[in-house]
Amino acid sequence: MPTIAISGQPSSGNTFVAKIISKKLGVPYFSTGQLFKDIGKGTYKSQHYYPIFHQLCLEKGISIPDFSNDNDSHAAMNIWDTNLGKSKIFHETIDELPKRLAEIGNIVIEGKLAVHMIPNAGLKIWLKASLEKRAERINFRDNLGVENARRVLMAKEKKEREEWKRIYGFDYFNQEAEADLVIDTSNLSAEEVAERILANL
């Protein structure tokens, strides 16, 4: 089976949907966003991808400092505020890992830049949802309160769009135009979104 690449707006359901598709198809799953969060929480060394990622870091001469945080949203923001998070080489290294996995195929890869970075994917999907719905999902996950979740989401989204545009030269929301399939998940469950994708596959 060819590689399936899933990207989308923050908290539009990318991770849940990718995991469901991976399970239904019986193929591996990888998330570049989770890798970023794992680094921010200090848990990346215990993950299955660590040996390959560690080798990539050695090849690029990257040393990752120790981070520690208690939730995904803050973990990601902590990295963006460091020199490491602003480093083009660091982001290129993170991008290289799913590319190596995609060359093998038979995998679901979820990441904010996956649609753009894996142009040869067999199916490229972009997910989006309203700001209000995405804030509700963050609140449900991290228990921040809806208003605080909304502020965290807007700050994270702004930072990602600015930094990735600086690093890569494009607004990652423009990947919607590169995708084979675009789905608004505002009023759909992750299962319903996954079924639509599988029907198109």
Q: For 102-139, how does the pLDDT look when each residue is reduced to its tens digit (9 = 90+)?
A: 888 889 999 989 999 998 899 999 999 999 999 998 88
For position 168, which CATH number holds? Answer: 3.40.50.300
Number of domains into which the chain is organized: 1
Q: For 147-200, how does the pLDDT look when each residue is reduced to its tens digit (9 = 90+)?
A: 898 998 999 899 889 988 988 899 999 999 999 999 999 999 999 999 999 998
Strands 4-8 and 123-128: parallel
CA distances from 90 to 6, 48, 114, 131 (A): 21, 19, 16, 29
Query: Which domain does 50 fall in, by range?
Result: 4-200
